[in-house]
Amino acid sequence: MTARIIDGKAVAEALRAGLAARIARLNFRPGLRVVRVGDDPASGVYVRNKDRAAAAAGFDSATIQLPAETRESDLLMLIADLNIDPAVDGILVQLPLPPQIRPDMVIAAIDPEKDVDGFHPVNAGRLATQQPGLVPCTPKGVMHLLRAAGTALAGARAVVLGRSQIVGRPMLQLLLAADCTVTVVHSRTRDLPAECRRAEILVAAVGRAELVRGDWIAAGATIIDVGINRDAAGKLVGDVAFAEALPHAGAITPVPGGVGPMTIACLLENTLEAALARRGVAEA
């Protein structure tokens, strides 16, 4: 038996088409502003893809490019302006930021109702206390993929590899809310392979090329690989040794073409949700 491949590109395309159809029925265009400080080349591709996807789905989207030497106080002033701009529904400040700017200060300055990255402590708190709010895009995308793959969630043993603020922790909350039995493992976990072998659902978000080996995977498990790494030959690989995993897993996401495309689609979904909530619009 070889694992079914979960096609993130197709799931993301369907999600974006659904958003475009919903926006076409509105009498306004949800506004998204992406703020970029400096020109980190990796985030450049990402920002351009965001702009293209946003425009194609009918969003009013723009990127505000600031010089690398921008002062923190100037960035905070820009965010204050975007917070009160009625045409802006979503604000995203592209990370990483240059060293003179503290990311925590910037995230905390964004109006939580416009925080489409879902990183503001208010939104993290809402997620942890089961209140409606904006949810971080990557873990939200993972939930879409699990549902699209038809994975049974209620009662399933899920293991999340990694405990970061942007992936691991919100992933724990979302899987818990979907009634999974969740274990979170990290760099201090004693026996990583043994913990992973218990997983019916394994979400890997560690940033270590092919850390998860084939014999860490229980027969038939659903594997979601969030990792984006380069191997020794410079090839893009995930946190899971894909070829080794295939004969063990029931379903698996590839890298690239798995979780990656979902992140932008979920950013757009968050922007639409923020717009509807903030403007008090109920969809027909």
Stretch of 25-33, 59-67, 125-133, 226-234 contacting ligand NDP, by CB under 6 A: 226-234
Backbone angles phi, psi at 35, to 5 degrees: -105, 125
CB of 280 to ligand NDP, least distance (A): 31
CB of 2 to ligand NDP, least distance (A): 23
Q: How many residues bind ligand NDP (CB under 6 A)?
A: 23
Tokens standing for residue 22 = 């919903």
Tokens standing for residue 84 = 């009160």
Please tell me whether residue 170 binds ligand NDP under the rule CB under 6 A: no
Give the per-residue contact string, 175-214, with ligand NDP (x = CB under 6 A; - = no). -----------xxx---x------------xxxx--x---
In the list 260, 265, 269, 272, the residue contacting ligand NDP (rule: CB under 6 A) is: 260
Cross-strand pairs, 225: 204
Strand order in the sheet with 60-66: 60-66, 31-37, 90-93
Please tell me whether residue 65 binds ligand NDP under the rule CB under 6 A: no
Closest by CA to 252, choosing from 183, 192, 204, 186, is: 204
163 is in an annotated binding site: yes
61 is in an annotated binding site: no
Pairing of strands 222-225, 251-252: parallel
157 is in an annotated binding site: no
CB of 84 to ligand NDP, least distance (A): 30
Q: Which residue has the tokens 């860490």?
A: 216
Please tell me whether residue 164 binds ligand NDP under the rule CB under 6 A: yes
| Active-site residue, from 7, 89, 115, 117 | 117
228 is in an annotated binding site: yes
Nearer to ligand NDP, 37 or 240 (CB): 240
CB of 55 to ligand NDP, least distance (A): 20
Cβ neighbours for 155, distance < 8 A, ≥ 6 positions apart: 179, 180, 181
Q: How far apart are CA 46 and CA 116, in angstroms?
A: 16
For the beta carbon of residue 28, count every other beta carbon within 10 angstroms.
Answer: 12
Burial grade of 43 (CB within 10 A; 0-12, 13-18, 19 or more)? middle
94 given a catalytic annotation: yes
Q: Which residue ranges make up the site for ligand NDP (CB under 6 A)?
A: 138, 162-164, 166-168, 186-188, 192, 205-208, 211, 226-229, 259-260, 263
Binding residues: 162-164, 228
